[in-house]
């Protein structure tokens, strides 16, 4: 598959952004309906509670309306309404937390894609500089003074030496492992893409069925596994970063149930998806 051009990449990102806005709009409409139902129930109960008596004009008789929260005869019938309001509130809170987690995941994915694009642009810029120097050499022109082109390079390098070294997180280790896998097989794009898709399938099966042992156990000597993942340097290492361990003398990869971490699996899925859809992944 040929790499996408800048215009195609921009259109693809624009289409994804539009789809995300549509999903967000539908989600907001559902939340609005739920909130409207909840507040209508609260308003109705408050209205009944506030109307302590009502004057009937024909006989001037006061008819008492008792709140279902205080009347033991009405408490049994009012319980389903109260329970529905409570469930509605819990549903709203769960939806809010889910939306916040999804937003954080998307922001982290976009940040990683921007970093990949920035590294790719830097490599392209260096390539252009090399081509420019080669053309000047062929034309017999003197080479450009690197100090004049980049006067602040030494200052930037000096500043970098004083920056604190950040600890390498597991997500960064996964990204580096996938990048090394692609660089080690840079002439086999189809095989690398197939390996990424296979790893994504393994991780997705475990995330969807964490209690199924058949999805958490992989035979290393399986010909299909060796052809798709095991034969590529970095494939088994990526699974080990996800929590898999070698057992029975290195014949199987096994992920114990108590070591299944959904956060790690979700991060692995995000990194694999970024490696699949981002054409600049692993360029450096």
| Helices 72-138, 6-50: crossing angle, 10 deg rounding | 160
Domain shared by 205 and 283, yes or no:
yes
Domain shared by 278 and 207, yes or no:
yes
pLDDT tens per residue across span 80-135? 778 888 888 888 888 889 888 888 888 888 888 888 888 888 888 888 888 888 88
Query: pLDDT-derived band of residue 48, with 50, 70 and 90 as boundaries?
Result: low
Alpha-carbon gap, residue 239 to 257, rounded angstroms: 15
Alpha-carbon gap, residue 60 to 74, rounded angstroms: 26
Which of 59-73, 184-198, 203-217, 260-274 is least confident?
A: 59-73
Mark which of 115, 147, 163 sits at the end of a domain: 115
Q: Does 226 fall in a domain?
A: yes
Q: Does 122 fall in a domain?
A: no
Query: pLDDT-derived band of residue 201, with 50, 70 and 90 as boundaries?
Result: very high
Confidence at residue 67, expressed as pLDDT on a 0 to 100 scale: 45
Domain shared by 207 and 104, yes or no:
no
Mark which of 69, 98, 115 sits at the end of a domain: 115
CA-closest candidate to residue 87, choices 134, 38, 45: 38
Domain shared by 188 and 263, yes or no:
yes
Range of the domain at 195: 172-284
Alpha-carbon gap, residue 281 to 116, rounded angstroms: 6
Mark which of 95, 115, 135 sits at the end of a domain: 115
Alpha carbon distances (Å) from 40 to 43, 96, 151, 172, 281? 5, 21, 68, 49, 51
Q: What share of the chain is helix, strand, coil (3-state, %, to 5)?
A: 70, 5, 25
Strands 217-219 and 245-247: unpaired
- CB-based burial, 3-19: b 16+ in 10 Å, e otherwise: eeeeeebeeeeeeeeee
Average pLDDT over every residue of 22-51: 76
Q: Does 76 fall in a domain?
A: yes
Q: Does 163 fall in a domain?
A: no
Domain shared by 103 and 32, yes or no:
yes
Domain shared by 110 and 193, yes or no:
no
Confidence at residue 165, expressed as pLDDT on a 0 to 100 scale: 45
Q: Does 152 fall in a domain?
A: no
Which of 105-119, 134-148, 232-246 is least confident?
A: 134-148
Q: Does 133 fall in a domain?
A: no
Confidence at residue 151, expressed as pLDDT on a 0 to 100 scale: 45
pLDDT above 60: residue 147: no
pLDDT tens per residue across span 170-191? 888 888 888 888 888 878 888 8
CATH number, domain containing residue 270:
1.20.58.2190
The rounded mean pLDDT for the chain is 77
Alpha carbon distances (Å) from 152 to 65, 126, 136, 171, 222? 81, 16, 24, 32, 54
Confidence at residue 198, expressed as pLDDT on a 0 to 100 scale: 92
Q: Does 125 fall in a domain?
A: no
Say which residue, 222 or 64, is predicted with more confidence. 222
pLDDT above 80: residue 54: no
Confidence at residue 160, expressed as pLDDT on a 0 to 100 scale: 47
Domain shared by 204 and 108, yes or no:
no
Say which residue, 88 or 139, is predicted with more confidence. 88
Share of the chain above pLDDT 70, in %: 75
Domain shared by 107 and 215, yes or no:
no
**Any alpha helices (H) in 139-212, and if so which ranges?**
146-149, 153-161, 170-184, 189-208
Q: How many domains does the chain have?
A: 2
Confidence at residue 78, expressed as pLDDT on a 0 to 100 scale: 58
Which of 83-87, 133-137, 146-150, 262-266 is least confident?
A: 146-150
Q: Does 111 fall in a domain?
A: yes
Domain shared by 26 and 102, yes or no:
yes
CA-closest candidate to residue 272, choices 231, 229, 238, 228: 238
Residues 6+ apart with CB under 8 A from 247: 253, 254
Domain shared by 99 and 198, yes or no:
no
Say which residue, 167 or 197, is predicted with more confidence. 197
Q: Is 53 helix (H, G, I), strand (E, B) or coil?
A: strand
Confidence at residue 148, expressed as pLDDT on a 0 to 100 scale: 52
Confidence at residue 205, expressed as pLDDT on a 0 to 100 scale: 92
Token output for 214: 């058949």
Has this prediction a pTM greater than 0.85? no
Average pLDDT over every residue of 64-68: 44
Average pLDDT over every residue of 43-70: 50
Average pLDDT over every residue of 252-259: 89
């Amino acid at each position: 598959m040929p790499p996408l051009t800048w215009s195609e990449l921009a259109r693809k990102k624009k289409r994804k952004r539009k789809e995300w806005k549509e999903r967000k709009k539908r989600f907001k409409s559902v939340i609005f309906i739920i909130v409207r139902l909840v507040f209508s129930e609260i308003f109705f109960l408050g209205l009944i509670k506030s109307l302590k008596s009502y004057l009937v004009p024909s006989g001037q008789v006061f008819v008492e309306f008792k709140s279902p929260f205080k009347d033991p005869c009405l408490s049994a019938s009012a319980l389903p309404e109260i329970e529905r309001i409570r469930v509605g509130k819990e549903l709203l809170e769960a939806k809010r937390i889910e939306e916040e987690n999804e937003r954080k995941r998307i922001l982290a994915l976009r940040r990683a894609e921007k970093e990949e694009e920035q590294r790719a642009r830097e490599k392209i810029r260096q390539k252009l500089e090399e081509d420019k120097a080669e053309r000047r050499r062929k034309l017999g022109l003197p080479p450009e003074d690197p100090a004049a082109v980049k006067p602040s390079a030494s200052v930037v390098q000096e500043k970098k030496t004083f920056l604190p070294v950040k600890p390498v997180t597991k997500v960064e280790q996964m990204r580096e492992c996938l990048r090394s896998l692609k660089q080690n097989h840079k002439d086999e794009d189809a095989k690398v893409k197939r390996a990424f898709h296979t790893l994504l399938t393994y991780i997705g099966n475990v995330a969807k069925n964490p209690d199924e042992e058949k999805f958490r156990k992989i035979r290393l000597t399986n010909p299909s596994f060796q052809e798709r993942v095991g034969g590529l340097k970095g494939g088994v290492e990526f699974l080990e970063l996800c929590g898999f361990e070698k057992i029975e003398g290195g014949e199987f990869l096994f992920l114990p149930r108590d070591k299944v971490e959904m956060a790690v699996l979700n991060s692995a899925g995000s990194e694999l998806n970024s490696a699949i859809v981002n054409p600049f992944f692993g360029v450096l």
